[in-house]
Structure 1
Amino acid sequence: MRRAGWAAVCGAVLLAAAAGGVTAALADGPADDPAVPASATSASVPGADSADAGFARDMAVHHQQAVEMSFVVRDRTDDEEVRRLAYDIANTQANQRGMMLGWLDMWGLPKVSSGAPMAWMGTAEGGHGSESGHSGHSGHGSGSGKGGPLMPGMATKADLARLEKASGERAEVLFLQLMTAHHKGGVHMAEGCVDRCRPGVQRDLAQGMVTAQESELSLMADLLKARGAKPE
């Protein structure tokens, strides 16, 4: 069953990569090329406050934390399953982050916003949690890069400090719990882009993120269960 889980995750990751991989090829294409999506043409560049730009900025920050947590746990456990999962998350989300920052460059839009994170979804969704918990809504960082409320699923400074101090199975369990919350928040954000972003490669990538991260959520639930733990 564990092998089937990895197969499903790998398939979902490949789907996400395929959805986003088109971006690199399109970014160099002429503006009047019919293969270039509307969001990539100078006549239809999204605004700085659009869902397209907001999602790219916020998800780039969200992905960066997932990459950081994955590198932390990789050095704190010898378990091959957890290390492989961490590598897959770090590799996939680092690549996707590069795509989203590339879109912002292509659109001539800032990579940070002075507004609250998640405003592109119609409401600022931070500010619900506490520094001691890891519901991911308060503590360190934000979509604006100025500190303040976090985006859905983001770990707090206290969470990250605990992960950095843990080792062995304790590090594995904590990573899986934190990443489960992180992925749930990421799915929520990606679904927001699917609903609000304009048709094109970014919305396709967001749908691929939903599929890939839901598969990884299922795998992480199995890994937690095998360790006598569950998501918090």
Structure 2
Amino acid sequence: MTRTYWAAGTAVLLALLFAVAATVASASGDGDGDGDGGSRTTARAPGLYSADAGFARDMAVHHQQAVEMSFIVRDRTQDEPVRGLAYDIANTQANQRGMLLGWLDLWGLPKVVAGEPPMSWMGSADGHGGHAGHAMGGSGMSGHDMAGHDMAGGDMAGHDMGGAAAKPGALMPGMATKEELAQLGAAEGRDAEVLYLQLMTDHHKGGVAMAQGCAKECETPAERALARGMVEAQQSELALMADMLKQRGAAPRG
């Protein structure tokens, strides 16, 4: 278990270090990585509805709920392995979220786009993810509720988005509903530990699917590297959480 968890943390750290270095190189004008500093004066920013921008916006929201759930469970149990896992997930995903939002700032792109359904960037070769065909009737609702609450009208709930389905009442695949967050906040001890591990398992599965989508479709090398690091780290944590659930006489849901 210790080796698995160490590997997950190492993968994330390496991805973060590479992403920071690549971002600095891109911002300084040496975006092609050949070191000459003169072949391109600036790196071309991704488009508003590109996979790069869409992943950054959606994963920032996805990560925010993981941070929220992790802080909740730290107040609901005294179990050190669960509290330690929760702390590391919160710390890692808060840092990654800051990086994703920082890229949006660097690219001069908004963090929320009115009318953009979650994960509309996935599954399209041109990086637009069929956005125009999925606009929500000019409602002006992005659906990016930071607590993972239901979208206006629940239009996307249960629909297939990029090969992964969001359950009714959840914003994106793997995300918890507001009812599940309330259950976690009311649970204590072993019940809180098991529910957190189950919810975070679902959350990581959805996050892995999203990160795999970016690793395939995003064009920014640093972002692809971060996405691949997310996949490796979260898959390792999935194995760890399965073991922790088994130790508590429980199992992942579904």
Q: Same fold (TM over 0.5)?
A: yes
Does the 8 Å CA contact 1:54/1:118 hold for their aligned counterparts? Answer: yes
Instruction: Give the match for residue 31 of structure 1.
Output: 29
The two structures have a TM-score, normalised by structure 1, of 0.84
Give 1:127 shift. 1.6
Which amino acid letter does the alignment assign opposite residue 57 of structure 2? R
CA distance in 2, matches of 1:33, 1:194: 18
Determine if contact 1:136/1:181 at 8 Å carries over to the other structure.
no
Separation in 1, partners of 2:70, 2:24 = 28
Contact 2:175–2:206 (8 Å) recurs in 1: yes
Which whole-Å CA distance do the structure 1 matches of 2:122 and 2:83 have between them?
34
1:7 alignment counterpart? 6
Corresponding position: 1:70 with 2:70: yes
CA contact (8 A) 1:136 1:182 kept: no
Following superposition, the deviation at residue 139 of structure 1 comes to 2.3
Unaligned runs of 5+ in 2: 124-128, 135-154, 160-164
Inter-partner Cα distance in structure 1 for 2:54 and 2:41: 18
Structure 1 residue runs of 5 or longer lacking an equivalent are: 130-134, 141-149
Shift of 1:80: 0.8
Is residue 128 of structure 1 aligned with residue 158 of structure 2? Answer: yes
Aligned length: 214
Higher helix share: 1
TM-score, normalised on structure 2? 0.77
User: What residue is the counterpart of 1:188 in the other structure?
Assistant: 209
The 5-angstrom pairing of residues 1-232 of structure 1 reads: 2-22=1-21, 25-26=24-25, 29-32=27-30, 34-35=32-33, 42=42, 44-113=44-113, 114-122=115-123, 126-128=156-158, 136-139=166-169, 150-232=171-253
% identical aligned pairs? 60
Q: What is the CA deviation profile of residues 73-101 of structure 1, one whole-angstrom value per residue up to 9, with x for unaligned ones? A: 01111111101110110000000000000
Counterpart CA distance in 1 for 2:22 and 2:61 is 19
After superposition, the CA RMSD in angstroms is 2.5
The 4+ residue runs of structure 1 with deviation greater than 2 A are 2-27, 29-36, 40-43, 122-126, 135-140
Computing the radius of gyration from Cα coordinates, the structure with the larger value is 2
